[in-house]
Amino acid sequence: MKTIWLLLIGVLLAGATLAQEINFSRVQDMAIWYNQSLKTDKQNSVKLNYRNVQYGGLIAYNSISVMADMPLLSKSKKEADNVGYFSASAGAASDKSNQGILNNTMGVLGLSYAVPIGKNETYIAAGFQGVYYQSNLNINGGSFFGDQYDKYGPVDGMASSDRFRAGWSYGYFNMNAGISVFNNSTFNKWYIGASVMHINKPYTDQNKTKEFQLRQAIGIQGGYKFATGLDDDEIGFYASMNWQGRAYKHFYNGTWSTPIKQLPGSAVGLGLGYRYEDALVPNVELRYMKLILGIAYDVNVSGISASGIRRNGLEMAIRLDF
C-alpha cells in the first residue's frame, strides 16, 4: 500500500509541476483554458467538467473545472456578421486526491479581441490571461520518509525533516497569451491557434531557486466542424498539443452527431478521443436546444499498466449556451 501511495504522489506531483494542465478530454470545450483568443462564437457559455481517476480501485483523485465566457457586445451586433468584439472569461479548477494529500486549485481571468479579416465570419484574435495557482500537499496521514523510523520500526509522533511531511502550500501568479484565426460560418467552423503559458516563468517554491521555476509552455490548437445541413449530421475533429521543456501532453478528439427527428432541437453524438501515450477516450453526448451533456471513459493505454496497477477514469461535462 505504501508503494501505491508513493506512486500516486509521484504522478500527482508530476502533473502539478506542469501547472494549469487541464486534463479533460472534450478539447472543443477546453480550448479557452489553453488559449484565451479561442472564443470563436458570439454567445454566452458556461462549461462544467468533472473527472474521477482511480488507480487499482484503491486510490483516486477528482478534477473539476468551471468556465464562463461571454462576448462584450450588444444583442444586435451578436446577430450581425463580420463585427469585431471583445470577450471576457472567468474560470476555476481543482484537483484533489481522495485522502486530501494533494489539493491544487486555480482561478483564471481572461480578455480577448477578435477582428474580422474577411467575409463569411473569418477573424483574427488575440487574448491574455491572468492566473493564480495554489498547491497544497499534506501527508500527515502516514509515515513515508526514512527519518520517521529507527532500528525498531516507525517512531510514533516523529516529525519528518522532509518539507512534504509537515505539509506544504504555495501559490503564484501566472500570465498566458495566445493568438488565433477562426471561421464561424453556418456549415463550416474551424480554428487554429498558438499560445504561450507561464510567460512570467513563476517560481513554484518559496525558496525561488532556478530548479523550481516554471518553463514556458507552448501550445497549438486546431479544430474543424462540418455540418451537412441545418438539421443534419455534424462531424468534427479537434486537437490540442502542448510542450513544456521535455514534457508534452497532446489531446485529440473526433466527434459525430445526428439529430433526433422525433424531438426537434435535440441530437445524439458519439466520439473517440486520444490522450497521447496515455488513454483512449470513447465518449457520448446528448444535446437539447443549447444544452449539451457529455460522458467519457478513459481506457488506459499508458506504460503504468506494466507496474500491475490498473487505472481508469470517468468524465462528465455540461455545456450551456445562452
Mean pLDDT for each 10-residue chunk of the chain (322 residues)? 49 48 84 95 95 78 94 88 94 85 90 92 96 80 50 56 58 95 91 96 81 89 88 91 89 95 92 93 95 94 69 91 91
**Nearest one of 28, 33, 240 to 131, comparing CA atoms:** 33
Could you please report the per-residue DSSP string of 58-79?
TEEEEEEEEEEEEEES-HHHHS
**What's the pLDDT score for residue 142?**
47
- Rounded Cα–Cα distance for residues 41 and 32 (Å): 12
Domains, the chain, ranges and CATH? 2-321 (2.40.160.60)
- Count Cβ neighbours within 10 Å for each residue of 190-228 and write b for 16 or more, e otherwise: bbbbbbebbeeebbbeeeeeeeeebeebebbbbbebebe
**What's the pLDDT score for residue 149?**
54
Could you please report the per-residue DSSP string of 251-318?
EEEEEEEEE-TTSTTEEEEEEEEEETTTEEEEEEEEEETTEEEEEEEEEE-SGGGGGT--EEEEEEEE
- Rounded Cα–Cα distance for residues 294 and 279 (Å): 17
**What's the pLDDT score for residue 168?**
67
**What's the pLDDT score for residue 72?**
93
3-state class (DSSP) for residue 45:
strand
Q: What pTM value is reported for the model? A: 0.81
**What's the pLDDT score for residue 247?**
85
Query: The cell 464562463 sits on which residue?
Result: 68
**What's the pLDDT score for residue 317?**
96
**What's the pLDDT score for residue 17?**
45
**What's the pLDDT score for residue 96?**
87
**What's the pLDDT score for residue 213?**
86
**What's the pLDDT score for residue 312?**
81
Residue 109's φ and ψ, nearest 5 degrees, are -125, 135
**What's the pLDDT score for residue 308?**
62
**What's the pLDDT score for residue 205?**
74
**What's the pLDDT score for residue 153?**
56
How many CB atoms sit inside 10 A of residue 167's CB?
11
Output the nine-digit C-alpha cell for 313.
Answer: 477514469
